[in-house]
Amino acid sequence: MLEYLRDKNIARKLADKIKELVRGHLKLMHVCGTHEQVIASSGLRGLLPENIEVIQGPGCPVCVTPASEIDLAVELASRGNIVTTFGDMLKVPGSERSLADSRADGSQVKVVYSISDAINLARKSPDKEVIHCAIGFETTAPSTAVVILDSPPQNFSIISSHRLIPPAMEALLASGECKIDGFLAPGHVSTVIGAEPYNELARKYNRPIVIAGFEPVDVLYAILMILKQIRDARAEVEIEYTRAVRPEGNPVAIEKMWEAFELSDSSWRGLGNIPNSGLKLKSRFEGYDAIKRFGMEPKASVDIRPGCSCGEILKGLKYPWQCGLFKIQCTPDSPIGPCMVSTEGSCAIWYKYQTQELVKDNV
């Protein structure tokens, strides 16, 4: 099946059909770094007609984590605790330092693939506090929930940085700052949440939303599905990624998530505060909330450094090459903003795949 979903002849045929259907200038947004990866690495923008743009929104959970949350992790590491993090969070700058800087100074910062690895570390180091940076959207939050619900060791806690995608989509639509004619919804977030959370957005803002898979043909087919909706004056939620996304999502994962967490307002790096867009541990689990356990007080953070366009890039207002620092002061080796650090950040992806050479004249 994968060969079919990567077949360039099928991709070209879909691109031809897209060309036949598109009217006017359309701007579609996706909210998933992995979609940007496949779009960039497969050169899909080169296949699309000039009058369709596909831009990344705030689909990189590492990129939207405020510097203040990184600062908390850095502070806890400096106190001699073990801090665990996913790999692409390691080098993201906080207000002054990253966790990589902390590690270089001798703090115990460990990269983990899974929160389960952090739990194992806590069990092996009973005389140390282990704090896990629980970052991720709805794809990742249920696994944090499973661990919290399963009586984690007493020396384990989390900084909850989980955020929810539909409220961010709504915030962008409500602000009207960015022209968005339709959404490619994130395939793996949607394996958990299903189609229902997007229904109100499609209806209220009259925009088609198609949940897309992660192969090149998936993305092109999802774009075609959006165009068919626009042609037919429909604004519905459809699933292109039917092999992995059920309309009801994963009820077990949803249940676990809401058993451990409740909604909270949340600050998004580059987007500001979005009501009811974050997850915090319910009060009966607050023993595992590192902020409460260690009496931390999140402070105002320097989220966007002078000259950095991560804010506009995360809102879909700019492409990476439109940032004055891109590839000059800001590179993967010396990143200024989070979008250049994370494997799911637009700037890191565009840098890697030289996308701007392909599309610069078209946007």
Partner 1 sequence: MCLAVPARVVREVNPDCAVVEISGVRKEIKLGLLNEVEVGDYVILHAGFAIQKLDQGEAEATLKLLEELCSST
Residues that bind partner 1 (CB under 8 A): 1, 4, 9-10, 13-14, 17, 32-35, 59-62, 86, 88, 113-117, 135-137, 139-140, 142-143, 146, 150, 186-189, 191-192, 217, 221, 224, 240, 242-246, 250, 252-253, 256, 343-344
Q: For residues 187 and 316, which CB has a smaller minimum distance to partner 1 in the complex?
A: 187
Query: Structure tokens of 362?
Result: 């078209």
Q: For residues 139 and 267, which CB has a smaller minimum distance to partner 1 in the complex?
A: 139
Task: Tell me the closest approach of the beta carbon of residue 203 to partner 1, in angstroms.
Answer: 25
CA 44 to chain centre: 20
Q: For residues 114 and 175, which CB has a smaller minimum distance to partner 1 in the complex?
A: 114
To which residue do tokens 């703090």 refer? 107
Query: Structure tokens of 34?
Result: 């992995």
Q: For residues 40 and 325, which CB has a smaller minimum distance to partner 1 in the complex?
A: 40
Pairing of strands 156-162, 130-136: parallel
Task: Tell me the closest approach of the beta carbon of residue 288 to partner 1, in angstroms.
Answer: 16
Task: Tell me the closest approach of the beta carbon of residue 152 to partner 1, in angstroms.
Answer: 13
Give the burial class of 316: count Cβ atoms within 10 A of its Cβ; 0-12 exposed, 13-18 middle, 19 or more buried: buried
Give the burial class of 235: count Cβ atoms within 10 A of its Cβ; 0-12 exposed, 13-18 middle, 19 or more buried: middle
Residue 264, beta-bridge partner list: 278
Task: Tell me the closest approach of the beta carbon of residue 45 to partner 1, in angstroms.
Answer: 20
Q: For residues 11 and 323, which CB has a smaller minimum distance to partner 1 in the complex?
A: 11
Pairing of strands 26-30, 182-186: parallel
Task: Tell me the closest approach of the beta carbon of residue 214 to partner 1, in angstroms.
Answer: 8
Tell me the C-alpha to C-alpha distance, in Å, between residue 152 and each of 99, 122, 144, 147, 244.
24, 9, 11, 6, 30
Instruction: Fill in the amino acid letter for 32.
Output: C
